[in-house]
Structure formats: C-alpha cells, structure tokens
Amino acid sequence: MTTVECLKYLQHEIHTTVAATIDENGLPVTCAVDIMDYDESGLYFLTAKGKSFYDRLVRQGYIALTGIKGKDTMHSVAISVQGKIQEVGNSMLPQILAKNPYMKKIYPTAESQEALTVFKLYEGSGEWFNLSKKPIERVSFTFGEARPKHKGYYVATDTCIGCRRCKNVCPQGCIDFRSVSATIQQKHCLHCGNCMSVCPAGAVKRLEE
C-alpha cells in the first residue's frame, strides 16, 4: 500500500473515523469524524465552528484518528493517522459537499452551511494494519514533511547465535532463518516483543522511534 492508497482507503472505504484530541484540562477526548477528501498531501475533514471539537482543533493544531473496516476483528483493516492540521476555511466546501452529498441532509441550506469549516491534516504519519491476513500485514506511511517513525524489533546479525528460540515464540511465524542469523519480516510483525524476551544472546533490539 502506498501513502495515497492508504489515504484513499480511509476516505473512500472507511470514511467514518474516531478522532482523538486533547481537552482544556489536558485529557483525551474522542469523537466520530468523517474523512471528506484526500490527495497525495493529506486528508480533509470538516466541522462546525461552534463545536468544542473545533476549539480543540484550533488550540492544538494536531489530531490522531483511527478508522476500521470489517465485519469482525479477524476480517478487519484499521488505518491510524496522526499529525498536524490547519484550518483551510470554507473555500473547499463546494467541492467537499459535492463529493459527500449526504452532508446536505445535515446542513441543508447555504445559511446553515455557514457554520462549516474545513481542516487539512497536512503532515503526518500513519499505519495500515490488516488483521484479515495470516500473517498480519502492516505498512507505515508518511506525508508532508513528516519523517518515518521506526517501531518494532530487529535482530543484530553479528550477535545472533542462531538458536531459533525467537522463531518458536513468534505468533505470526515471521522470523526467517534463511541466512545464519534471524531476520524479522517487518511487514508481518505484531510488535509483541516475545523475540526480544527469549533471546539468550540479547541480539533482538527494539527500534528507536
């Protein structure tokens, strides 16, 4: 999955996400937010200027959101994205309303649409996480100026003694021993940490963000 394919999936296939912001007391708050549009540089969503949600967005300039699609856990894909936001205002509103005509049922008249304003998530990172595949599949992506985050575990090849204990405890069977030392298949790794816990040589390391 490329970045733009992930953003498209979020807008097109998932559409409604749960978004996290921080309230005036520093506590997390979540609410449902629809992803109205996307392009290669980010995601677009809208809100009404009278909402507490709007105040939180303006105050922090940051959002984190997750959307899930699937009939149950083992048939689901989740996409999470977090990053910086800016208010675009209402210049994009006609285009967004045309693409999401159901919004006219909620805000039916031009006068009522006056409350609406568009935000762009313009710089961020995210992850596609597919639990419907065995082994699981995960893909990280970034957009804007965001630098990729490195999470998970790797094997220091010069320290690995080839005992295969990590392979035995890996729930996804994603540790290769095709060469002498182990290699973790990053795109199938759950990040459970079992491999690091059992390695007698201390060869499994945690990736730094």
Ligand X SMILES: Cc1cc2nc3c(=O)[nH]c(=O)nc-3n(C[C@H](O)[C@H](O)[C@H](O)COP(=O)(O)O)c2cc1C
- Of the candidates 2, 32, 73, 176, which one interacts with ligand X according to CB under 6 A? 32
Encoded amino acid at 105, one letter: K
**Which string of x and - marks every residue 33-72 that binds ligand X (by CB under 6 A)?**
xx----------xxxx--xxx-------------------
121/86 Cα distance (integer angstroms):
7
Smallest gap, in angstroms, from Cβ of residue 84 to ligand X? 18
Residue 22's CB is within 10 A of a number of other CB atoms, namely: 15
Which C-beta is closer to ligand X: that of 2 or that of 30? Answer: 30
CB closest to ligand X, residue no: 47
**Which string of x and - marks every residue 1-30 that binds ligand X (by CB under 6 A)?**
---------------x--------------
Site for ligand X in 84-143 (CB under 6 A): none
Q: Contact 57/49 with Cβ under 8 angstroms?
A: no
Q: Is 21 exposed, middle or buried (0-12, 13-18, 19+ CB in 10 A)?
A: buried
Q: Contact 44/7 with Cβ under 8 angstroms?
A: no
Site for ligand X, rule CB under 6 A: 16, 31-34, 45-48, 51-53
